[in-house]
Copies of this chain bind each other. A is one copy, B any other.
Amino acid sequence: MKIHFLVAALAFAGFSLCANAASEEPISPIKPPANINLGMVELGKKLFFDPRLSRSGFISCNSCHNLSMGGSDNLPTSIGDRWQQGPINSPTVLNSSLNFVQFWDGRAADLKEQAGGPIANPKEMAFSHTLAVSMLQTIPGYVREFKQVFGKNTIDIDQVTAAIAEFEKTLVTPNARFDQWLLGKKDALTETEKQGYALFKDSGCVACHYGEAVGGDSFQKMGVIKAYKTTNPAKGRAEVTGKDADRFNFKVPTLRNVELTYPYFHDGAVNTLPEAVDIMGQLQLGKKYTPEENAKIVAFLKTLTGDQPMILLPILPPSADNTPRPNPFGK
């Protein structure tokens, strides 16, 4: 991991003083999604907003990845079925298609694999894939739409997660002021913001926060130089690999829309960007930013807020008389 860190730092060192061409920068503008199946997107949008995919009938994907709030719930850890406290901070769904793997510990390879997780997680939506599919199968509006999109008479969980993933692929946030600047609009950033970006590069943040998502492309240890203190028991990547060397290794989160995705870190323990920047500097880079430096980096980070997806709220097909009803309070 340390080698990765150094290589990345060296690789980007050459670019830190030149800021005129997008292709030479370690951060690249968000590209509009391509190869999108619009039928799957519309179906996936309904499923994303449908609380019937939870045991209680109350929690939808959008409950914790709220598209009104930067694709997150702005809570330290999420609220699950029966108000259970979630184990880790909900990562934003925005630009999540750009992550190299999904979840903080990378246990899902892609969005499709991720989408099935919370539905069946007893601490989250607390349903099961079987129950979800048999519920959907009773709703005429869904049966017709799945048939139209997938061309089959029966619904299965692969179709459900594929549709949700296809919708999520559309949830990118282009046109951030930083991207406008990368794409040639010289006055898109203030001097302070440009100085913040220079600091972000020069002091090594780009070693992990690079690319289209400004992160989301590697696992890194939380606490490289100094240990991160937390009461959160999450072990990170080690929970997937079983290797002690992967302890506290987490997927580097995207910094796109970071202004909207507070609180920060895998435990959601830090409420503000100045505090998050300060901790990152000390723990990951061994650097104590001055208040002025900190403010400049924060100013730069706020230029990464892009156009939020325009979502026309879906109208969900009503349950039929024989649709199993949710179980919000019973055992």
Q: Which of A73, A311, A328 is packed against the most chain B CB atoms within 10 Å?
A: A328
In order of increasing CB-CB distance, the 7 nearest A-B pairs are A83-B83, A311-B313, A272-B321, A308-B315, A68-B316, A58-B79, A260-B318
| Chain A contacts with B in 308-331, Cβ cutoff 8 A | 308, 310-316, 318-319, 321, 325-326, 328-329
Interface residues in A203-240 by Cβ distance below 8 A to B read none
Inter-chain contact A75/B260, CB cutoff 8 Å: no
Give the chain B neighbours of A37 by CB distance below 8 A.
none
Q: For the complex, give the distance between the alpha carbons of A74 and B319 in Å.
A: 9
Contact of A310 with B312 in the complex, beta carbons under 8 Å: yes
Residue of B nearest to A322 (CB): B272
- A39 part of interface (Cβ distance < 8 Å): no
User: In the complex this chain forms, how many copies of it are found?
Assistant: 2
- Provide the residues of chain B in CB contact with A326, threshold 8 Å: 74-75
Number of interface residues of A (CB under 8 A): 44
Pick from B68, B263, B274, B318: contact of A259, CB under 8 Å: B318
Residues from chain B with Cβ under 8 Å of A319 in the complex: 74, 262
* Interface flag for A85 (CB, 8 Å): yes
Instruction: List CB contacts (< 8 Å) of A279-331 with chain B.
Output: 308, 310-316, 318-319, 321, 325-326, 328-329
A138 in contact (CB, < 8 A)? no
Most chain B beta-carbon neighbours within 10 Å: one of A70, A73, A75? A75
Select one of B50, B82, B328 contacting A75, CB under 8 A. Answer: B328
Q: Which residues of A contact B (CB under 8 A)?
A: 49-52, 56-58, 63, 66-70, 73-76, 79, 82-83, 85, 259-260, 262-263, 271-274, 308, 310-316, 318-319, 321, 325-326, 328-329
Q: List 7 A-B contacts (CB under 8 A).
A: A69-B316, A70-B318, A76-B328, A272-B321, A311-B313, A312-B312, A313-B313
In the complex, what residues of B have CB within 8 A of residue A76's CB? 328
In whole Å, how far is A314's beta carbon from the nearest beta carbon of chain B?
A: 6
What residues on B are CB-neighbors of A263 within 8 Å? 325
How far is the CB of A141 from the nearest CB of chain B, in Å? 11
B75 and A313 contact, CB distance less than 8 A: no
Q: How far is the CB of A54 from chain B (nearest CB, A)?
A: 11
Residues in chain B near residue A314, CB distance under 8 A: 68
Q: Counting chain B CB atoms within 10 Å of each CB, which of A57, A82, A318 scores highest?
A: A318
Using Cβ atoms and an 8 Å threshold, which residues of chain B touch A79?
A: 56, 58, 328
Taken together as a complex, chains A and B put the C-alpha atoms of A110 and B323 apart, in Å, by 35
Q: How far is the CA of A46 from the CA of B259 in the complex (A)?
A: 18
**A329 CA / B50 CA spacing, docked (Å):** 25
